[in-house]
Chains A and B, each alone.
Chain A
């Protein structure tokens, strides 16, 4: 996804004079060409995320739409107030692209983890959150939304699904039929869901964005009256969006997401999934228990 980001953002900067790229000293080598050819609109701002976000808002206030990039916790958590006030409150457009997701940087430890980003940003009114499960999905999302006039957050991950789906903003699409329940997988967690649940009589739906408005496109029939929401970050954001729009009265709901604890282990991403019981076998176990309850 990072390579796709580099090529797609560079294309946007090259082709549109009303755009700017601001890097928090991350991705600089990948963007070396555009930094060199467009120094008036492509900047390695440095490791000062608060000022970078406010500067981006200043650019936006003068008609230059910014793409802002660094590792997830440093943009979302360190510069949260700048996103909230300078973009949200001032009603300015901007595109925030993060890397690292929940714990892609498994070996680097908790300072570089960001499982809270989606829930945190969903508290800022009207922010659109994109959680692409595939590089192609991200490419479409960025190309289709960079000039939407909104605050857009794109959560890139090193770990992707094997297939891409061309979903609209806020769309939840049915990928597999089933009768005993429905599982809605978000972004790159679709891979885990498909790997372990394909043989179960369960409907699988897929979603790769959460709208800032009440406009999620949800199928309101929940077979089996059992709903599982499977998110690659702290649980919560999608369920809140769903119950804003459709009644899940009479349904049992299980949320599976990254547990709210500091993940003080290192190792690989797969080891972290296993430790957090988010690997395929653990997920299958949880889902079967839930369906059999």
Chain B
């Protein structure tokens, strides 16, 4: 276990053992239902990166569903979200449906020949998708360009870009972090899905110190805590870009998948699907 803040099981037990208020219970049930949909979509097409989707689902739920309840953030208007780690698309589709930006058809058509919903999101096919990502290292600089464009339009906006810790291997990410700092992109929040999946290739050490030194207002939080996520997404610095290092568990919610690299790009069999759904609901 490489996360500094939490242990694998303690996060999952947060849901099952710690008393929650009514809203927490509703959110928990909604998220479990979304996890079931993601599993069904993956099973339907025998394709998808389920653990990556489960790693970021709480982040996206906090951003799209919870944050707008307590702020004026609205991703159907001026605010921007770019999923730079496009292989986690299943989570984005689930949340876009939950936010009523798309319908439920993604579950039964995912990966089909004529489907709009592939393994990576296509901005020309899916409402609410702001960039066609998949090749890592593109989404963040695209977000920066969007910020420069929005600045010329004199509108208030926030821009959020979710990158993976493995994606931090890409040189273009570091280029873009320097650019965001240089251009004082206070409108930007970079969310790092820090699930340690990149460590087997390249251990980056302390992300906090790196983002700090690049001029970001940096916070490291429990990436499955809605309270922490919403709080950090709602607050930003007056001249620095913000970095939220979300400590997450890859495959979060299904014990067999959690931090198990065998599941990175694997689809459940029908038997496994039944087992996993039983674990969720």
Spell out A's residues near B (CB within 8 Å). 17, 20, 40-41, 43, 45-46, 48, 50-64, 66, 81-82, 85-86, 89-91
A54, A64, A85: the one within 8 Å of B152 (CB): A64
Interface pair A45/B179, CB less than 8 Å apart: yes
Interface pair B130/A61, CB less than 8 Å apart: yes
Q: Contacts A86-B138, A90-B132; is A54 near B145 (CB within 8 Å)? A: yes
Q: How far is the CA of A22 from the CA of B149 in the complex (A)?
A: 13
A40, A41, A54: the one within 8 Å of B138 (CB): A54
B143, B145, B179: the one within 8 Å of A46 (CB): B179
Interface pair A54/B130, CB less than 8 Å apart: no
Interface pair B124/A59, CB less than 8 Å apart: no
Interface pair B150/A62, CB less than 8 Å apart: yes
Q: How far is the CA of A81 from the CA of B124 in the complex (A)?
A: 18
Q: Which residues of B contact A55 (CB under 8 A)?
A: 141-142, 144-145, 148, 176, 179
A192 to chain B, nearest CB (A): 39
Q: How far is the CA of A4 from the CA of B152 in the complex (A)?
A: 27
For the complex, is B137 an interface residue (Cβ under 8 Å from A)? yes
Q: How far is the CA of A46 from the CA of B150 in the complex (A)?
A: 21
Interface pair B142/A61, CB less than 8 Å apart: yes
A34 to chain B, nearest CB (A): 15
A83 to chain B, nearest CB (A): 11
Q: How far is the CA of A66 from the CA of B149 in the complex (A)?
A: 10
Interface pair B175/A48, CB less than 8 Å apart: yes
Spell out B's residues near A (CB within 8 Å). 123-124, 130-132, 134-135, 137-138, 140-153, 171-172, 175-176, 178-179, 182
Closest B residue to A41 using CB positions: B152
Interface pair B152/A51, CB less than 8 Å apart: no
> Number of A-B pairs whose CB atoms are under 8 Å?
95
Q: Contacts A51-B176, A90-B132; is A58 near B141 (CB within 8 Å)? A: yes
Q: How far is the CA of A91 from the CA of B123 in the complex (A)?
A: 10
Interface pair B152/A17, CB less than 8 Å apart: yes
Q: Which residues of A contact B149 (CB under 8 A)?
A: 20, 58-59, 61-64
Interface pair B152/A40, CB less than 8 Å apart: yes
Q: List 13 A-B contacts (CB under 8 A).
A: A17-B152, A40-B151, A54-B138, A58-B145, A61-B142, A62-B146, A64-B148, A85-B134, A85-B135, A86-B131, A86-B138, A90-B131, A90-B132
Closest A residue to B82 using CB positions: A58
Interface pair A58/B148, CB less than 8 Å apart: yes
Q: Which residues of B contact A63 (CB under 8 A)?
A: 149
Q: Contacts A54-B138, A55-B148, A56-B145; is A61 near B175 (CB within 8 Å)? A: no
Q: Which residues of B contact A60 (CB under 8 A)?
A: 145
A140 to chain B, nearest CB (A): 28
Closest A residue to B153 using CB positions: A62
Interface pair B123/A61, CB less than 8 Å apart: yes
Q: How far is the CA of A66 from the CA of B146 in the complex (A)?
A: 12
Closest B residue to A62 using CB positions: B149
Q: Which residues of A contact B134 (CB under 8 A)?
A: 85
Residue among A51, A53, A54, A64 with the highest chain B CB neighbour number at 10 A:
A51
Closest B residue to A40 using CB positions: B152
Q: How far is the CA of A55 from the CA of B137 in the complex (A)?
A: 12
B141 to chain A, nearest CB (A): 3
A151 to chain B, nearest CB (A): 15
A53 to chain B, nearest CB (A): 8
Q: How far is the CA of A64 from the CA of B176 in the complex (A)?
A: 19
Q: How far is the CA of A48 from the CA of B138 in the complex (A)?
A: 13
B145 to chain A, nearest CB (A): 2
Q: How far is the CA of A52 from the CA of B134 in the complex (A)?
A: 18
Interface pair A59/B141, CB less than 8 Å apart: no
Contacts A50-B172, A52-B141 supplied; 7 other A-B pairs, CB < 8 Å: A48-B179, A51-B144, A58-B131, A61-B123, A61-B146, A62-B145, A86-B131
Closest B residue to A47 using CB positions: B175
Closest B residue to A45 using CB positions: B179
Q: Which residues of B contact A46 (CB under 8 A)?
A: 178-179, 182
Interface pair B132/A54, CB less than 8 Å apart: no
B52 to chain A, nearest CB (A): 19
A40, A81, A86, A89: the one within 8 Å of B142 (CB): A86
Interface pair A58/B124, CB less than 8 Å apart: no
Q: Contacts A46-B179, A91-B124; is A81 near B135 (CB within 8 Å)? A: yes
A20, A50, A58: the one within 8 Å of B144 (CB): A58
Closest B residue to A50 using CB positions: B172
Interface pair B132/A85, CB less than 8 Å apart: yes
Closest A residue to B172 using CB positions: A50
Q: Which residues of B contact A51 (CB under 8 A)?
A: 141, 144, 172, 175-176, 179
Q: How far is the CA of A40 from the CA of B150 in the complex (A)?
A: 10
B141, B146, B151: the one within 8 Å of A50 (CB): B141
